[in-house]
Amino acid sequence: MSAAAKAKPTRRLAFKLTRRRIIAIALVVLGAFIFVESSILDSELITTLTFESTSTGQTPTVGNIPVPTSAYLLVIGLLFALSGALNLFEFEEARPRQVSLALLALCALLFIPTIIIAAAAGNETNLTTIVAESLRLATPLAIGAFAGIWCERAGVVNIAIEGMMLFAACFGFTTLFFLRGTALPLETAQLLAVIIGVLAGGVIALLHGWLSITFRTDQIVSGTVINILAVGVTSFIRREYLLSTEAGAAKLGNFALPVLSELPVIGEAIFTNQPIFFMMFVMLAFTHIVMFYTRWGLRTRAVGEHPHAADTLGINVNRTRWINVFISGMVAGLAGAWFSLEATGSFNDGMTRGAGFIALAAMIFGKWTPIGAFGAALLFGFSDSLGIRLQMVGVGFPVQFLQMVPYAVTLVVLAGFIGRASPPKAVGQPYVKE
Amino acid sequence: MIEAPPVLEVRGITKRFPGVLANDNINLSLHKGEVLGLLGENGAGKSTLMNMIYGLYKPDEGEILVNGAPVEISGSKDAIELGIGMVHQHFQLVDVLTVTENVMLGNEAVSGPFLRRDRARREIESLSREYGLDVNPDALISDLPVGIQQRVEIIKALYRHADILILDEPTAVLTPQETRGLFKIMHTLLERGVSIIFISHKLKEVLEICDKVVVLRRGAVAGHADPKDSTEQSLASLMVGRDVILEVEKEEATPGDEILNVVNLHVRDDRGLPAVEGVSFGLQRGEILGIAGVQGNGQTELVEALTGMRAVDDGRFFIQGEELTGAAPRRVTERGVGHVPEDRQRDGLVASFTVMHNLVLSTYYKDEFSKAIVVDERAIAENARQLVEQYDVRPPIINNVVGGLSGGNQQKVIVAREFARDVDLLIASQPTRGLDVGSIEFIHRQIIRMRDAGAGILLVSSELDEVLSLADRVAVMFEGQIIDILSVEEADRDTVGLRMAGVRAGAAAEA
């Protein structure tokens, strides 16, 4: 309010709602809520944070951390409220401004541990499992988001990621289902199934390209058509071919990464895992490197931002888009294969459950960069894993409420820190040579 | 001794678009190390011709020869390989990429699939040094002013070893200082053996920089001229096809009541930085106050604040005695203010609407054009028919989409809309930017007519000549402040030029 205190004969708002203040207000509210919550809890309650599964019977290499829940929440509540209140002010001097910003950063850092501790309230909570679960559940979201990046960076909107995933999940599983009876070893059959899934995504993407690049259909319409088509075709296939027998197959097997899997604690929980999970990291690196360090990536970004400029330099705009859309489809196909081949070993109608759209949200949240999208996907994955964990532990209030928290955080962070996301400028616009 | 063939020759080029003969049997030739001026009104076919040379269009008839050999140019790739580079009127730069990335795009320095930004950067640095094109290779395009962006475009062409350079209206977006800089660069290029086609409709510049001039009119060559024995007058007549009055004829101003009073106005720009810092002035009925200044010294923000399009940080302003600080644009309009915005495509028109609808954008809700909640299309069409005729919008078809008109005619639509209302105060920002002499003459005459009818006119222009020829008083803006207001007698090119560079009155005497 200090800014308004300077008396000026203007009509400007007395209190400007800056991004920082939005966060500050949210923090104050949250702090107050946590404070109230802490006073309700039994003060004897102790949450134990563990890092290793105790069921294996081995002596833990890393100790457990007991946290007196009520006291912890009391402190955190006060801290949040205080730093929120501090950040409502505009400081002219450097020192208090730095202090208030540092407090803000501290709150951000403590946020996720706080959710975990509050949620577990009095039980034992395994942090390693939560991290591993978050990563596992983030897999289709992250890979789906990379699929979106490939397409949209070239200027083609892809809301058909959902449909491409569903097609891939279905065709991949169907392949495996029919190969089961043959002499092929299981691993080979599974590999073929994944490849067919990936190709199915690519083929559907070609349909998207055909509609939106060649015929210049509105890209949203084209994507919607594919999404609707996917639901129909895949449930038809399931009814016709898969339902007739007991449709289930072996999931993709675990791999132990050399060296890394030897690490204590995380070696088993994270580096001994299924192939598409590992592919997530490969795709992260691949997408990032191609987009920002190669000729193809530079051209792709130019085509997505200012296709005419690219054209005047002799770059074939539509060819670039075609290839990127095709790659996007194959990447989405990999994400789809996760559902049927890696996660469940079966195919169900609409089993992607909107993951394609959440992947798109992750892409936007991550500002169309692979690393940002990966981070966003992790946040969404964390929210999912939290929900599952809480249901198992059984807390005193609706699980959905805590599960909602990461999304609420996303909203605040989006409004507060990140600001307006700026998509590639030419996204959604078909390119027509004059 | 046999004369070397021209580096570029165009023979009998004809290009038809549906319903239009854009280029009709055009011949021209460009020799090594010379500047060929290509002059013509908006829509005379200059850009079409250049786009054919650059491979963006295919000619229907005729041939193009490079160094005496006929060539087939079927895409910009071919043109680049033949050593032809083009700086488009609208820069073809990707905003979010760096200078280096923009320059190398399409001709990347690579090892395998990987970009070698360092190699490209070194090449750009050496080109910068050689041709005096100072630019930071790592800057993002969106952070650079237009003058520097243009250098990047020139570097793009040189990086591809262009020895024929087409500059399509390069000075349309430049300040006088930046134009000087461009001419210096052009001289360096010529010394290094580059040949240049210079497209413009600024007669003074064409006379100054070109070795010979070809004038196009309605798609055909209207004549050739030698700048040495041509005048602005003769070129203008050749271009328009009739005698043009370049000097603005006007009577002495007879100022009346004060219509606009601005007191200590402070406004911030889009980034939240102070752009207008304590501007005060008054404007009377029947006078034209010109605001001169290099672009980006707060003129844009000043105009936006006065028209209600931008929040005022501090200070206030009155129109016809009523305080309108912070009022919505509609209220400002209703108070009798007409506004010709700086960026006609962004703030002046809805490009996808028809001419007739654009002509009622500020009045559609009035009883004249609306009955209850329904707009009266017939009245709107009738209004449009009158204005289109009166303001000579071409083609005079009221159902045309405005976005399809040439720049000059788009501007006429705005002028028709704003001038036809009962306007007491006209705020005109860069009213003739990018227009040809015929349209400029027309708009200038309309502004004088408005003044003589008793309106107050605030004219903001970065064209010094325009301000000097129209204004009755000249205010010079520099770094967000009005550093001097000169009467028309005091305001000569040199004095105003000095003020534009930030030299205050009296400063010279001290030095």
Q: Are the Cβ atoms of A309 and B115 closer than 8 angstroms?
A: no
The mean pLDDT of chain B is: 89
CA distance B229 to chain A (A): 37
Write out the two tokens for B260.
Answer: 């606009």
The residue ranges of chain A whose pLDDT is under 50 are 1-14, 55, 57
Q: What is the pLDDT of residue A45?
A: 75
More confident residue, A110 or B350: B350
Of B94, B113, B114, the CB nearest to A309: B94
Q: What is the pLDDT of residue B177?
A: 76
Question: Which SS3 state, helix, strand or coil, does residue B491 take?
Answer: coil
Q: B340 phi and psi, to 5 degrees?
A: -105, 105
Question: Which SS3 state, helix, strand or coil, does residue B288 take?
Answer: strand
- For residue A9, which residues of chain B lie inside 8 Å, CB to CB? 314, 316
Which of the residues A18, A286, A295 would you substitute to probe the B interface, choosing the one with the greatest number of B C-beta atoms within 10 Å?
Answer: A295
Interchain CB contact of B94 with A (< 8 Å): yes
Q: What is the DSSP string of B373-411?
A: TEE-HHHHHHHHHHHHHHTT-SS--TTSBGGGS-HHHHH
Residue A143's Cβ-side half-sphere holds a number of Cα atoms within 13 Å equal to: 31
Q: What is the pLDDT of residue A343?
A: 92
Residues 144-163 of B with CB under 8 A from A: 156
Q: Are the Cβ atoms of A302 and B88 closer than 8 angstroms?
A: no
Which of the residues A19, A292, A293, A306 would you substitute to probe the B interface, choosing the one with the greatest number of B C-beta atoms within 10 Å?
Answer: A306
Q: Is the pLDDT of residue B457 over 70?
A: yes
Other beta carbons within 10 angstroms of residue B160's beta carbon come to 19
Of A301, A302, A312, the CB nearest to B88: A312
**pLDDT-derived band at B12, boundaries 50, 70, 90:** very high
CA-closest candidate to residue B413, choices B397, B436, B437, B434:
B397
Q: What is the pLDDT of residue B358?
A: 95
- How open is the CA angle B155-B157-B158, to the nearest 5 degrees? 65
Q: pTM score > 0.90 for this model?
A: no
Interchain CB contact of B110 with A (< 8 Å): yes
- Percent pLDDT > 90 in chain B is 58
Q: Which of B21-25, B35-39, B315-319 has the weakest average pLDDT?
A: B21-25
- For residue A434, which residues of chain B lie inside 8 Å, CB to CB? 56-57
Q: Which of A222-231, A258-267, B329-338, B488-497 has the weakest average pLDDT?
A: A258-267
Q: Which of A111-120, B250-259, B434-443, B457-466 has the weakest average pLDDT?
A: A111-120
CA-closest candidate to residue B418, choices B470, B365, B359, B378:
B359
CA-closest candidate to residue B288, choices B491, B433, B479:
B491
Per-residue pLDDT averaged across B43-52, rounded? 86
Long-range Cβ contact pairs of A35-42 (< 8 A, separation 24 or more): A35/A73, A35/A74, A35/A77, A35/A78, A35/A81, A36/A77, A37/A73, A37/A77, A37/A118, A38/A69, A38/A70, A38/A71, A38/A72, A38/A73, A38/A74, A38/A77, A39/A70, A39/A74, A41/A69, A41/A70, A41/A73, A41/A121, A42/A70, A42/A122
Question: Which SS3 state, helix, strand or coil, does residue B470 take?
Answer: helix
Per-residue pLDDT averaged across B178-186, rounded? 90
Of A8, A296, A302, the CB nearest to B94: A302
- For residue B77, which residues of chain A lie inside 8 Å, CB to CB? 314
A196-223 per-residue burial string, b: 16 or more CB within 10 A, e: under 16: bbbbbbbbbbebbbebbbeeebebeebb
The beta strands (E) that lie in A234-373 are given as 255-256, 272-273
Q: Does residue A357 contact residue A162 with C-beta atoms inside 8 Å?
A: yes
Write out the two tokens for A67.
Answer: 């946290």
Q: Are the Cβ atoms of A293 and B75 closer than 8 angstroms?
A: no
Q: Which amino acid is at B388?
A: V
Q: Is the pLDDT of residue B333 over 50?
A: yes
Q: Does residue A268 contact residue A52 with C-beta atoms inside 8 Å?
A: no
- Most confident region among A237-241, B471-475, B500-504 by mean pLDDT: B471-475
CA-closest candidate to residue A280, choices A134, A82, A120, A111:
A134
- Mind listing the pLDDT tens digit for each residue in A18-64? 777 877 888 888 888 888 877 777 777 777 777 765 545 455 556 67
Q: Are the Cβ atoms of A306 and B95 closer than 8 angstroms?
A: yes
Q: What is the pLDDT of residue A112?
A: 77
Q: Is B57 left (phi over 0), alpha (psi -120 to 50) or beta?
A: beta
Q: Does residue A144 contact residue A356 with C-beta atoms inside 8 Å?
A: yes
Q: What is the pLDDT of residue A192?
A: 95
Q: Does residue A192 contact residue A361 with C-beta atoms inside 8 Å?
A: no
- Mind listing the pLDDT tens digit for each residue in B402-417? 988 877 788 899 999 9
Residue with tokens 């489809």: A329
Which of the residues B91, B105, B155, B331 would you substitute to probe the A interface, choosing the one with the greatest number of A C-beta atoms within 10 Å?
Answer: B105
Q: Does residue A100 contact residue A106 with C-beta atoms inside 8 Å?
A: no
Residue ranges and CATH numbers for the domains of chain B are: 8-240 (3.40.50.300), 256-336+423-433+448-511 (3.40.50.300), 344-421 (no CATH)
Burial of A20 (0-12, 13-18, 19+ CB in 10 A): middle
Q: Is the pLDDT of residue B1 over 50?
A: no
CA-closest candidate to residue A369, choices A320, A418, A311:
A418
Q: What is the DSSP string of B2-51?
A: PPPPPSEEEEEEEEEETTEEEEEEEEEEE-TT-EEEEEE-TTSSHHHHHH
d(CA A379, CA A373): 10
- Mind listing the pLDDT tens digit for each residue in B115-126? 999 999 999 999
Write out the two tokens for A69.
Answer: 């829940």
Q: Which of A242-246, A341-345, B101-105, B447-451 has the weakest average pLDDT?
A: A242-246
CA-closest candidate to residue A330, choices A381, A377, A283, A275:
A283
Residue ranges and CATH numbers for the domains of chain A are: 15-122 (no CATH), 128-418 (1.10.3470)
d(CA A212, CA A426): 14
Helices within B75-137 (DSSP H only): 76-81, 99-104, 117-131
- Distances from the Cα of A318 to the Cαs of A310, A432, A433, B475, in angstroms? 11, 9, 10, 51
Q: Which of A280-294, B100-114, B436-450 has the weakest average pLDDT?
A: B436-450
User: Is the bond leading into A406 cis (omega within 30 degrees of zero)?
Assistant: no
Q: Are the Cβ atoms of A294 and B88 closer than 8 angstroms?
A: no
Other beta carbons within 10 angstroms of residue B198's beta carbon come to 25
**3-state SS, one letter per residue, for B152-194:** HHHHHHHHCCCCEEEEECCCCCCCHHHHHHHHHHHHHHHHCCC
CA-closest candidate to residue A12, choices B312, B224, B107, B503:
B312
Q: Does residue A371 contact residue A284 with C-beta atoms inside 8 Å?
A: yes
Shortest CA distance from B95: residue in chain A = A305
